[in-house]
Structure 1
Amino acid sequence: MHIVIIDDHELVRDGIKNLVEQEFGWHVLFDVAAIEELPNVDVLADVDVAIIDISLQEASGFDVLNTVKTNYPDVRCLMVSMYEHVGYISKALELGADGYVTKTAATKELMCALNALENGDNYLSTDLSNKLAFGHNNAFSELTEREREVFLLLAKGLQPKRISSQLKTMPKTIMVHRTNIYHKLGVTSQFELLRIALNEGILSLDDFIHAPSA
């Protein structure tokens, strides 16, 4: 089995690489912080499994997943993330992820996930399966895809003008999204969005501290 690891934390990459090579005897072709660090995207044609973090500095792991699945549908993709929220799990599955494991999971669970993918099966741990089954009652699941993007940036403390620049849209449009988000989630401030994001595991304090300035 040939593996590529895409995660912007070198310590995480090293840990996964050691596990994959020592426990499975598989070969890690590349471990990189971003898909752009690969010699070229065509090397993915020789990959059996891509292990991808959702939260990357230069691009969304969802974008990477979409790129891999669109161009190399036979590559099995395992998402490894700190996020346990149903919105992220659902999004990953919609884009074709073959497995989803949180970074808080035990090493044994990562091994189970990789075994499943090797055998042609999909993998979602029991706790995440339950979260997915019941999470659609959560108001967050009512947000549109764009509203989820705006929600995340608002929760990180960015102001509408900065968000509009980042998402390449009009500030007025972001204000409308913000109003809709506040209404759907029953909040009245960005601080409350941050609280929800932290409570739901969508963001960690580390994400907030290192977020771009507003």
Structure 2
Amino acid sequence: MQIGIIEDHLLVRDSFKKLLELQDDWQVTIEACSVAEAKLAVALEQPELFIVDISLSDDETGLTFLSYLQEKYPHIKLLVASMHDGEPYVSQALRLGALGYVSKRSAAEELIDAVQSVAAGKRYISKDVQFTTAQPSQAAVEQLTKRELQALPLFAKGLNAKQVAQELGMMPKTAHVHKANIYAKLEVSTSFELLKIAIEIGAVQLDELA
């Protein structure tokens, strides 16, 4: 797997690279210290996954780069590793397309698991990361069918319709219908918004995302 890192502290970047490249077939192909440098690099070569820091020493933040990648290269999986492990940073990063969020304080222990989860299209949020949840109406939740309630936490964790279909033993087309119904009934438009509701109603526990 090819991995990119945008991190303005050389020691942190080097430690991440050494840790990642201990894994078989993992290679850090992009090392950038600024958004401008990362944009130039990714235009030439797109890694499968990018690890992004929020605070950078230049004028643009990691959030800017997340937005850029989500728009230009949506196939690249995104994982944030930051000292900012609370709001509003976490919600902003997840809303901008990050599947995972790891605190730098626990990155040494959790980075490999986080990369593996995000590379597989699953969410990963380290236990010391805090973010606010949503308050869904009870009436909206009660509209969901039994099958939709089974599918809700899977979609909230970032699984696609094919993966949900495999988990629940149904056709992908049926899973797509369930997803559309869930989003419509709960009035959400992104898997991040769905995740916040899933946590609030207890369908997903935070420790399931780590």
Q: By the TM > 0.5 criterion, same fold?
A: yes
State the SS of the aligned residue for 1:80. Answer: strand
CA distance in 1, matches of 2:64, 2:55: 11
Q: Which residue of 1 aligns with 2:63?
A: 62
User: How much does 1:40 deviate?
Assistant: 4.4
Superposed displacement of residue 24, structure 1: 4.2
- State percent identity of aligned pairs: 36
Q: CA deviation at 1:133?
A: 4.3
Give the 3-state SS of the residue equivalent to 1:127 in structure 2: coil
Name the counterpart of 2:44.
43
State the AA in 1 paired with 2:57. Q
Structure having the higher helix fraction is 1
Structure 2 residue 30 is the aligned partner of structure 1 residue 30? yes
Residue of structure 1 in register with 2:114 after alignment? 113
Structure 2 partner of 1:3: 3
Structure 1: 5+ residue stretches without partners: 137-214
**Aligned residues between the structures:** 133
Q: Cα–Cα, structure 1 residues 101 and 135, in superposed 2: closer, same or farther, change >3 Å?
A: farther
Partner Cα distance (2:33, 2:107) in 1: 22
| Aligned CA distance change for structure 1 residues 66 and 135 (closer, same or farther; 3 Å) | same
Whole-angstrom distance in 1 between the partners of 2:50 and 2:107? 19
Contiguous gaps of at least 5 residues in structure 2:
136-210
Q: TM-score normalized by structure 2?
A: 0.58
Aligned twin of 1:96: 97
Q: Would the alpha carbon gap of residues 37 and 134 (structure 1) be closer, same or farther in structure 2, given more than 3 Å must change? A: closer
Contact kept, 8 Å, 2:6 with 2:31, in 1: the verdict is yes
Counterpart of 1:196 in structure 2 is none
- Give the distance between the partners of 1:69 and 1:43, measured in 2 at CA: 17
**Structure 1 counterpart of 2:52, one-letter code:** I
Q: CA RMSD in A?
A: 2.0
* 1:1-214 alignment, distance < 5 Å: 1-38=1-38, 39-44=40-45, 46-58=46-58, 59-128=60-129, 131-133=130-132
